[in-house]
Structure 1
Amino acid sequence: MSAQPPAEPDLPRGIALAWGVAANPQRGPKREMSIERIVDAAVEIADAEGLGAVSMSRVAQSLGYTTMSLYRYVTAKDDLLVLMQEQGIGLPPEPDPDLDPTDWRGRLRSIGRAQLELHRHHPWLLDIPIEGTPVTPNNLAWMDAMLDALSGTPLDQGERVAVILLVTGQLRWQSLIERSYEVAADAAGIDPQAIDDGRSAVLDAFVTAEEFPAVRLAVDAGVFAGEEDPFAFGLERVLDGVAVHIAERAAGAPAAGPPIPPEPDGVTADKRVRDARKAVKEAEKRLRDARKLERQAVREARAKAGRQPD
């Protein structure tokens, strides 16, 4: 007896649309309306104004149709977000032909650069929540590309997925920080370089060797005014750690230990624990206030000393 094919799952409409297995609407505007046009319009709005500006009514208005017309094609905004993300991320880049197929590090770095460019081109992608394992075609294609980059390593399947989470987490953090810089510049209506220059001026003026000796050394070394990319350093150190683990696995070391278990519910609910954590927060606040007073006193003492005659 031949094996029966797996039953087709009952999918949310957005995911079904992404896989191309959703039924087309039976009624609605004629050929001018389509899923593709709806998603194109939504992405255009998000690119220009951010994800918060996207609504079913706004997309319908941009297309010249009623909101109810859209619901015949996309039944909910969440479904629209799924399709927007699919279009926004597209497919991963093909492996660089100049890279050795066994160069897992170079291949992950290449995919990482492509992810950063996606986030710079469509920053609203960062606002779409991560809801577990990807289940749409383009998301899975990116995962497949990263897993394939690790296919020649001694890591087991679970470790490979863990490496992907580690690397993409670093890239997502970098993208969020970069976007925050751009948002601040846009809000101020000035060039991002001017903001960087202003911050450098503040650090140079207020960071003293007496109050912040370690930071002062970094300022004097030109760290905050340098041209080097600190994010690239972070990614390389992540890859360094992966390389060490791969070498250890190749030498016969066991896989990573069991996951750290979550804190039992009873611990969080215990009144003594809650009271102790509240006391810690209050103590931290008092410490911050005390340090603020100390900085003010130092500034006043320095100003007074500067006014004294020689």
Structure 2
Amino acid sequence: MTAPTASDPAAEPAPVPVLPHAHAVTWGVAALPQRGPKRELSTERIVEAAIEIADADGLEAVSMGKVAARLGAAPMSLYRYVTGKDDLLLLMFDAASEVTVPGAAGTWRERLREWAAFVRAAYDAHPWLADLPPSSTPTTPNRLAIIEAGLGALEDIAAPVSIKLPLLRLLLGYIALYAQATSDADVDESVRRSLPQLVSPERFPLLAPAAREGLFDEQGGDDAANGFAFGLNRLFDGIELWLERRTVDDELPELPAAITDDKQVRDAAKLVEKARADLRAAEAKAADAVAKATERLRAVEAKAAAAAEKEAAKQAVKAAKAEARARK
């Protein structure tokens, strides 16, 4: 009898590699502590307590000591279930990423919009999720389930998974970054109120008018929802256009990371910014000259029109007098 091959149904499944503890817990292959008398702790309770702290006070507030205090346990007792804070953060990230998408029927846009709405709801429920942005390779079950649901939304699109995955990463990045960009938890209110004065026209000529109009006032509710929907729909527009055209993308040049610190590059960027500032100043001067010339020429035209009107009235009076004399 020949030995079973990897493709043979009778072949033994490959053994699961040894995983880091937190990953092993999420995949259900970790060796859990044996239950003893008066056992009250569990990995689930520890993670739930940590999430409650993060939801209330942010991710920085989470510590092994605070979680233990919330559970009424000794800090060292937590280490039987999690190996440390990094372990705990990963477990929190996976637990808070449990998203159930109903998967309603409709176009790919409708299905993907529903998917994005449910993923965003998780970020709204747990704002600190945005402080742990998704990696290019999700490694826990709930993060992978989000990708699986996204692929389900894109199932009717005739494109390989190698195309769909970057699309989903783009959307996940947008959802996480939007949640981060619209969070005002760490904004000092006195600084916010000072922004209309600090954002000066000299330094920020394009942004200053918007700052004076209240662009940086605290926003939420409908404003945040409308902004999120606008950005999401524009991403969908881009995907739709690509599906119509199926163009080949130009490759972006891969620059060395250190280029941002290169002195010559930085000096050149400063020169460009100065040139732009000079150009804006010249354009403002030209616009002012045009406005003044327009005002001056219109004043001349108005004066000429008034003189013509006056002369016309004078001639009309003379004509009336002449006509009156002729009647006599």
TM normalised by structure 1 equals: 0.71
User: 1:119: Cα distance to partner?
Assistant: 1.3
What amino acid sits opposite 1:46 in the alignment? A
Report 1:119-268 matches (<5 A): 119-180=123-184, 182-184=185-187, 187-188=188-189, 202=196, 212=205, 229-249=226-246, 256-257=248-249, 259-263=251-255, 268=259
Using the alignment, how far apart are the partners of 2:278 and 2:169 within structure 1?
A: 40
Asked if residue 278 in structure 1 is aligned to residue 266 in structure 2, the reply is yes
SS at match of 1:160: helix
Using the alignment, how far apart are the partners of 2:250 and 2:26 within structure 1?
A: 35
Structure 2 CA distance for partners of 1:29 and 1:113, relative to 1, 3 Å: farther
Structure 2 CA distance for partners of 1:42 and 1:28, relative to 1, 3 Å: farther
Does the CA contact (< 8 Å) of 2:98 and 2:142 recur in 1?
Answer: yes
SS at match of 1:109: helix
Structure 2 CA distance for partners of 1:278 and 1:60, relative to 1, 3 Å: same
1:24 to 15, 23, 32: 32
Partner of 2:46: 38
Structure 2 CA distance for partners of 1:242 and 1:155, relative to 1, 3 Å: same
Structure 2 CA distance for partners of 1:41 and 1:150, relative to 1, 3 Å: same
Residues 257-309 of structure 1, C-alpha deviations (whole Å, 9 max, x = no match): 475352258x849xxx9331232355478679999x99xxxxxxxxxxxxxxx
Paired residues, number? 265
What amino acid sits opposite 1:54 in the alignment? V
Structure 2 CA distance for partners of 1:83 and 1:150, relative to 1, 3 Å: same
Residues 6-43 of structure 1, C-alpha deviations (whole Å, 9 max, x = no match): 22111111011011110012477742111111011101
CA root-mean-square deviation: 3.9
User: 1:175: Cα distance to partner?
Assistant: 1.0
Does the CA contact (< 8 Å) of 2:201 and 2:208 recur in 1?
Answer: yes
Using the alignment, how far apart are the partners of 1:218 and 1:123 within structure 2?
A: 26
User: 1:68: Cα distance to partner?
Assistant: 1.4
- State the structure with bigger RCO (CA 8 A, min sep 6), 1 or 2: 1
Asked if residue 7 in structure 1 is aligned to residue 8 in structure 2, the reply is no
Structure 2 CA distance for partners of 1:67 and 1:257, relative to 1, 3 Å: same
User: 1:95: Cα distance to partner?
Assistant: 1.0
Using the alignment, how far apart are the partners of 2:57 and 2:268 within structure 1?
A: 41
Does the CA contact (< 8 Å) of 2:115 and 2:153 recur in 1?
Answer: no
User: 1:117: Cα distance to partner?
Assistant: 1.8
What amino acid sits opposite 1:147 in the alignment? L
Does the CA contact (< 8 Å) of 1:27 and 1:72 recur in 2?
Answer: no
Using the alignment, how far apart are the partners of 1:3 and 1:167 within structure 2?
A: 39
Structure 2 CA distance for partners of 1:63 and 1:154, relative to 1, 3 Å: same
Residues 147-170 of structure 1, C-alpha deviations (whole Å, 9 max, x = no match): 111111111111100111122222
User: 1:144: Cα distance to partner?
Assistant: 0.3
User: 1:245: Cα distance to partner?
Assistant: 1.4
User: 1:173: Cα distance to partner?
Assistant: 2.2
Ranges in structure 2 where 5+ consecutive residues have no aligned partner: 5-9, 283-328
What amino acid sits opposite 1:4 in the alignment? E
What amino acid sits opposite 2:127 in the alignment? P
Does the CA contact (< 8 Å) of 2:134 and 2:172 recur in 1?
Answer: no
Residues 186-217 of structure 1, C-alpha deviations (whole Å, 9 max, x = no match): x439xxxxx7xx699x49x9879xx9589859
Does the CA contact (< 8 Å) of 1:29 and 1:69 recur in 2?
Answer: no
Give % identity.
36
Using the alignment, how far apart are the partners of 1:28 and 1:61 within structure 2?
A: 21
User: 1:139: Cα distance to partner?
Assistant: 0.7
User: 1:122: Cα distance to partner?
Assistant: 0.7
